[in-house]
Structure 1
Amino acid sequence: MDDLAGFLRTRRSRVDPAAAGIPTDSRRRVAGLRREEVAHLSGVSVDYYVRLEQGRATQPSEQVLDALARVLRLDGTEREHLSRLAGQRRHRARTPGNRVRPELLRVLELTVGAPALITNHRMDVLAGNRLAGLLYGRALPGLNTARHIFLEGEERGLYAAWESCTLDVVGHLRLSAGKYPDDPGLASLIGELSMGSERFRRLWARAEVRARTHGRKCYQHPLVGLLELHQENFSLPDDSGMELIVLSAPPGSATEDGLRLLASLGADADDARTTAEGACKAADGARPAVDGARTEADGPARR
């Protein structure tokens, strides 16, 4: 799903030679740095770096990785990803399960004023509170947000900043592919997205990684309009690969009013559903009595 050689090639192509102190002219046809330039700037032999990009050299030292990260201008998330790719053959993370502890479900139930959900490393929604279900307009267990964004075209309008969302999704899945290279479910998802979405294919080829931590998330909800929320991602400290995601609104904002309205609309729907279910149960309870009365009335005639 992801490999050190491919990551190095894509990172090399995006570095501006002038910013690295390399003079350029109109005859230069290479985008970014050449292999020998990366090798020279990082202090390794050209042959060794070429073998790295060809996948023939593995397990570079931390000193080499630090030098490459400096030359390729990697940020902290990319540097961590580089180290993980380089160490895949030494230690591969076990694919985590999807069981959500009851205590976490209680946390979701206690979060009543903001949509909250729990996702895994594949972006499957494992659980969510009532307001999160109303936000997405569907039952959450079974929803995969990556598939929802890229493949469910009719749902695209829910995301007010759809293009930005796609960047976040691909960056997150890249990180997951580096951390869990042996997960068949993740490989299947990436294959499905690649087959079904041209945009996913283009973004995946760029090999960019992103850590989802916090930021602005906007939804254009069909019932209450624009919701400009702040998203906080809390990675659970148990190596489960799960995250608790909370979407909050600034106090006194139009979005806070929108969430209240959404909650009230959901409450009205719940009340109507409860009333309908009660009526059905009452009708079902009445039928045996009618049938019984008919039996008694029919009884004498039969005798």
Structure 2
Amino acid sequence: MINKGANDLGGFLRSRRERLTPDAAGIEPGVTRRRVPGLRREELAELAGVSVGYYTRLEQGVSTSASDAVIDALAAALRLDPAEHEHLRILATPRRPTRPRARRSKLRPSVRDLLAAIPGSPAIVIDHRADVLAWNRLGHALLAGHVDFDAPDSRVRPNIARMLFLDPHHRALYRDWHAKAQVTVAALHQAVARHPADPGLEHLVGRLAVDSPEFARMWARRPVRTCSSYLRELAHPVVGRVTLVNETVTLPDDDQQIGLFYARPGTTDADALILLAQSFERRLAPGTPSRKEEAR
């Protein structure tokens, strides 16, 4: 299992301190041999303008919160990018004890209707745990045609992170698998910071760390990044190589995301999506839609 302390303020500070070299921080090399890969605690404390004792308490977890001024100073000293700066702020914000979050997210009917209203583009909805709450037909055909269409309504929903690291069919879809994996792990880190009392999220991270050494290594590096648009290079088993724009729309009230995939009209990538849709319709033709599909 992943240690809960791996997600706290101290762990994040330590990871970024060890990443920052003295040269990048503008510190002159000393005559003594360095025993740490990055900055020493006292060097970072001096750069941030805080006492060594105070910074040490933050990193060791004795202190679990810090003022905005201190967070801003630490972010500047550590050369954090905007996404990392915000993540640090979330980790350092005092929280009242909260009840464990419900294990199963609910999808609003209007969001399900929205997916059905865009049949020409693959679309999918996931929650903060990366559980798939719904997909339209083309989204299902693009990302997980080997999984039952009604799987998001089953007791154990498909999970994008679990499929990415443990499902060879889904993993093979991404020609840029490493980039996709980094983004997925970063999203889970940020989700843990927002929902520290979510047992379902804790279980997911723990199981992935046990079942996938690759996930465990990436998780230990604590990647953090925020981006809503990606260029996805896929190797689809039906239509072959295709490059699509992946736009992410966040539903803040539900902490859910809609993932949309599209290609510019008239391109070979757009033709591939048309071919995929036709192929999926042919697969459905001999049978009848499930009762759940008819109910929608």
Deviation at residue 77 of structure 1 after TM alignment: 1.2
Cα contact 2:186–2:225 (8 A) shared by 1: yes
Alignment of 1:1-303 (within 5 A): 1=4, 2-24=7-29, 27-90=33-96, 95=101, 98-135=105-142, 136-137=144-145, 138=147, 139=149, 140-141=151-152, 142-238=157-253, 240-274=254-288
Q: Which has the larger radius of gyration?
A: 1
Please identify runs of 4+ aligned residues in structure 1 that moved more than 6 A: none
Q: Structure 1 residue 30: deviation in Å?
A: 1.9
Q: Residues 88 and 182 of structure 1: is their aligned pair in 2 closer, same or farther, counting only changes over 3 Å?
A: farther
> 1:127-166, CA deviations, whole angstroms, 9 ceiling, x for partnerless residues?
0101011112022512101000111134321111111111
3-state SS of the aligned residue for 2:286? helix
Could you tell me how far 1:19 is from its partner in structure 2? 2.0
What secondary structure is seen at the aligned counterpart in 2 of 1:262?
helix
Shift of 1:80: 1.2
Q: Distance in 2 between matches of 1:183 and 1:250?
A: 39
CA-to-aligned-CA distance 1:52-90 (integer Å, 9 cap, x gap): 111111221110000000001111111111111111434
1:81 and 1:92 mapped to 2: Cα distance?
Answer: 19
Quote the offset at 1:95 in angstroms: 3.4
Query: What is the CA-CA distance between 1:267 and the residue it aligns to?
Result: 1.2
Residue 113 of structure 1, CA deviation: 1.3
**Amino acid aligned to 1:257:** D
Distance 1:163 1:58 in 2: 32
Structure 1: which 5+ residue stretches go unaligned?
A: 276-303
Distance 1:163 1:93 in 2: 35
Structure 1 residues 95 and 131, CA gap change in structure 2 (3 angstroms): same
Distance 2:40 2:193 in 1: 25
- TM-score, normalised to structure 1's length? 0.86
Which structure 2 segments of 5+ residues have no match? Answer: 290-296
Q: Is the 8 A contact 1:92 1:179 kept in 2?
A: no
Change (3 A) 1:90 1:72: farther
What amino acid is aligned across from residue 271 of structure 1 in structure 2? Answer: A
Q: Distance in 1 between matches of 2:162 and 2:251?
A: 23
Taking the aligned partners of 2:228 and 2:85, their CA distance within structure 1 comes to 17
Match of 1:296 in 2: none
Comparing 218-227 with 133-142, greater Cα deviation is found at 133-142
Give the % identical residues. 43
Give, as a single letter, the amino acid of the residue that structure 2 aligns with 1:12. Answer: R
How many aligned residue pairs are there? Answer: 274
